[in-house]
């Protein structure tokens, strides 16, 4: 089979989701010619809003090549959402497994059958303060090296204006009408990694190449230069923890030096509420 048919369930999802997307948002779609007409392939997409899957799925549906997303297995067990996830052929990821290759075996099988599998390589919403792609996880690279399938970098921007990540309240900001911008680029050249043992270092290098390609496309979409290095939220968490420890030590030292008559000085928290939420979410994602 050279390509997967759209099928009943995907068409039903389109009937439900497309009308409000067409009414509520404008679209700026580019690079559809880079989506392969036949054969299995991977798309690697940046992630900066909870609306991203709808925006990107709408874009790709209109190319005639529907994507199969990797999603947490728990979503497949819940009511109507689970029914739609199963019906549209999305791929459950069993996070409890210790074997990364087995976790993506369904993705490999789908690509071998001529289907498209969509990855969000960051694994979660970006933590970059300016919403650029952060350092990615190695799952997409692992599947790409196993299958040698084309990897199409996809950048999207605009859904974050309607629903910003990590906002205090997950409310849609529909007015003024936002533009959903999606752009696909040419396939990422990973041929230098094909004949190498997929060690952690090789997978990391291949992932960095994929993330650089996504970031390059996003820089075009945004019309501004990208950062020289991707944001590494693990290092950011470590810095925040060090700052908190140093602040606590400084507070304890100041308290020991105060006389009983001295009032305790107010101290600013080392980590603000927004950063604290981001840090807590990052720690939860890391534990999965």
* CATH number for 48: 3.40.1130.10
The predicted pLDDT at position 269 comes to: 42
Asked if the structure places residue 277 within a domain, the reply is no
Per-residue pLDDT of the chain (288 residues; tens, 9 = 90+): 456 678 888 898 899 999 999 999 999 999 999 999 999 999 999 999 999 999 999 999 999 999 999 887 777 887 888 888 888 888 887 766 555 455 688 899 999 999 999 999 998 999 999 999 999 999 999 999 999 999 999 999 999 999 999 887 778 899 999 999 999 999 999 999 999 999 999 999 999 999 999 999 999 999 999 999 999 877 878 877 888 888 888 888 776 665 555 554 444 444 444 444 444 554 445 444
CB atoms within 10 A of CB 11: 14
Asked if the structure places residue 122 within a domain, the reply is yes
Q: How far are the Cα atoms of 49, 71, 128, 237 from residue 124, in angstroms, in the given order?
A: 10, 11, 11, 15
The answer to whether 42 and 149 are in contact (CB under 8 A) is yes
Number of independent structural domains in the chain: 1
Asked if the structure places residue 227 within a domain, the reply is yes
Asked if the structure places residue 265 within a domain, the reply is no
Kindly give the pairing relationship between strand 41-45 and strand 151-157: parallel
CB atoms within 10 A of CB 172: 11
pTM of the model: 0.81
The predicted pLDDT at position 3 comes to: 63
Residue 200 structural domain:
24-162+171-236
Asked if the structure places residue 242 within a domain, the reply is no
The predicted pLDDT at position 79 comes to: 85
The predicted pLDDT at position 7 comes to: 82
């Amino acid at each position: 089979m050279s390509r997967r048919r759209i099928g009943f369930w995907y068409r039903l999802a389109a009937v439900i989701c497309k009308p409000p997307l067409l009414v509520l948002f404008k679209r700026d779609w580019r690079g559809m010619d880079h989506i392969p007409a036949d054969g299995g392939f991977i798309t690697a997409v940046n992630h900066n809003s909870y609306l991203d899957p709808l925006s990107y799925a709408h874009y790709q549906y209109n190319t005639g090549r529907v994507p199969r997303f990797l999603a947490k297995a728990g979503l497949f067990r819940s009511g109507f959402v689970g029914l739609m996830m199963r019906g549209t052929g999305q791929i459950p990821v069993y996070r409890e497994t210790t074997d990364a290759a087995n976790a993506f075996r369904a993705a490999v099988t789908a690509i071998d059958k001529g289907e498209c599998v969509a990855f969000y390589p960051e694994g979660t919403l970006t933590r970059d303060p300016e919403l650029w792609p952060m350092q990615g996880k190695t799952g997409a690279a692992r599947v790409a090296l196993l299958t040698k399938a084309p990897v199409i970098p996809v950048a999207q921007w605009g859904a974050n204006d309607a629903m910003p990540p990590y906002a205090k309240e997950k409310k849609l900001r529909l007015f003024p009408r936002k533009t959903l911008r999606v752009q696909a680029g040419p396939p990422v050249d990973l041929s230098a990694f094909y004949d190498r043992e997929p060690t952690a270092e090789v997978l990391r290098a291949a992932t960095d190449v994929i993330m650089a390609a996504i970031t390059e496309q996003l820089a075009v979409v945004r019309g501004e230069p990208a950062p020289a290095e991707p944001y590494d939220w693990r290092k950011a968490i470590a810095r925040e923890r060090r700052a908190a420890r140093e602040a606590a030590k400084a507070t304890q030292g100041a308290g020991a030096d105060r006389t009983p008559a001295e009032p305790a000085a107010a101290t600013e928290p080392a980590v603000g509420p927004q950063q604290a939420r981001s840090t807590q979410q990052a720690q939860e994602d890391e534990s999965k």
